[in-house]
Amino acid sequence: MTSQNRLRQYQQLLEQLSRSGWISEGHAQNRGPGAGGPCFQWTRKVKGKTVSVALSEEQFNALQQAIENWKKTRKIIKRMQQLSREEIFTTLPGTKRRKPLSKKVLGII
């Protein structure tokens, strides 16, 4: 891939990132009907501990979308990192190495 193609792909990813909408980590689940009606819950890890929050149905729906957006955003950022490393290691002078760096070591594949 040429430097020009990497830059073009990187800019497309930036554009996708700008349209991602609200994001949130964690998990939103519908725990089914409870004692007082439907039971929606959002869980996430904070300092190694699981934190749970009760949700309304509207909050549940919004958080579900935000969590999906976060998953897509992470994939986009991972690809942007790969393109960045590929650009840095293929276009800039490096140090002398006993053996060449593999794509696996660089995290490009």
pLDDT tens, residue by residue, 9-51: 999 999 999 999 999 999 999 988 776 767 899 999 999 999 9
What 3-state DSSP class applies to 30? strand
Pick from 59-63, 94-98, 103-107 the range whose average pLDDT is largest: 59-63
> pTM for the whole thing?
0.80
**How many CA atoms, within 13 angstroms, populate the side-chain half-sphere of residue 31?**
16
> If pLDDT is split at 50, 70 and 90, which confidence band does 72 have?
very high
pLDDT of residue 97: 80
User: Is pLDDT above 90 for 78?
Assistant: yes
**Which of 78, 51, 63, 56 is closest to 22 using CA atoms?**
63
Distance CA 36, CA 54 (A): 12
